[in-house]
Structure 1
Amino acid sequence: MICENNITRKVPALVCAGLMLGLCGCRHHVRVSPLPPVLTPVPLVEVPRPADAPMLTPPHIKMPPMPVAAAAARLPRERRRPVVKDEAPPPVVSPTPAQEAATIGSLTAGGTGSSQTRQDAANLIASNERRLNGLSAQKAEQQKDEVNTVKNFEKQAQDALGSGDAEGAMTLATKAKLLLDDLEK
């Protein structure tokens, strides 16, 4: 037991002595001989600055045109079937007054619905125009892309209404209305 006690006392002392010697470092310093003095003077050359220092210009990169949502808004049109002409015209039969009334009634039923759709589309387009003109200038500037998309839908709706496509005009005006709802939030 006595031996163990001596060893445990000496180990920390040895570790401390080893650390002190390691931290002291080497006493022999390496001496570097000084460079010889420059005996001949060297003339300094000044580089003249150009009078017009050119600014760096970014390279011109041709970008593709901005995509427009109008291309996606077009509804596919159905192709009309070619009319096959018969060699002999069908015989003309004069309709009776009852048949004539039934024929006229079936034609006007579709016309009333389309005129109502046409009127609804025109009202929605006008409402969208008023809302678009009522936007503040700051909001219109911040949301410039969305405002342009709404204007594009409005123009296409107006064109569709002018060409007689009331349902297409209603669809486009509804899209413009939904975008305006998002803008005003």
Structure 2
Amino acid sequence: MKGTSNITQKIAWTALWFGLAMGMAGCRHKQQLAPLPPVMAPVALEEIPQPDDLPMVEAPTEKLPPVPVSTEAGKPKKRKKQPPKVVAPPEPTPETQIANAAGPPSPDAAVGALTAGGETNPQTKQEAEDLIASIDKRLNALPSQKAEEQKAQVSKVRNFWKDAQDALKSGDAEGAKTLATKAKLLLDDLEK
């Protein structure tokens, strides 16, 4: 019997604590406020008069630097959004392959750059003439089928060869030799 009174006691205490907790928590209903009555008559607004004797604020006597003005401030720039262009990387030409194989160029050895002329070394002039002549012979000896298949490459070789001739005629032996060397390298690549 002792066991049942103990359980009864526990239930009584639990009920008491539950009742106290609920009593202290209060009511959970939302309070409703009475609505304000609507205003039916218009209300006149009153004008507040400005006082006549307002204190004057003096401007500062310090000389300030002029206010900076941007010339671009009044001109908004409109930029049209362009869709991104998808560009396939160009196939490496023999010129770029040759340039990449040789390593990074020095500032003095720009691609296709001609020298200022002036005093020319007779040896350089002779080398340029020989190189131009050998390119001419090799272009003429090129089989027509090969020339037709590699039309773009042959055209580049002919352009460099012609530019080399023009440079030599103008007295620029160094430039002529450089251009003829480029034509020779392209022709070597073509004949492989």
- Give the TM-score normalised by structure 1: 0.41
Rg comparison, structure with higher value: 2
- Give the TM-score normalised by structure 2: 0.40
Could you say which structure has the higher helix fraction?
1
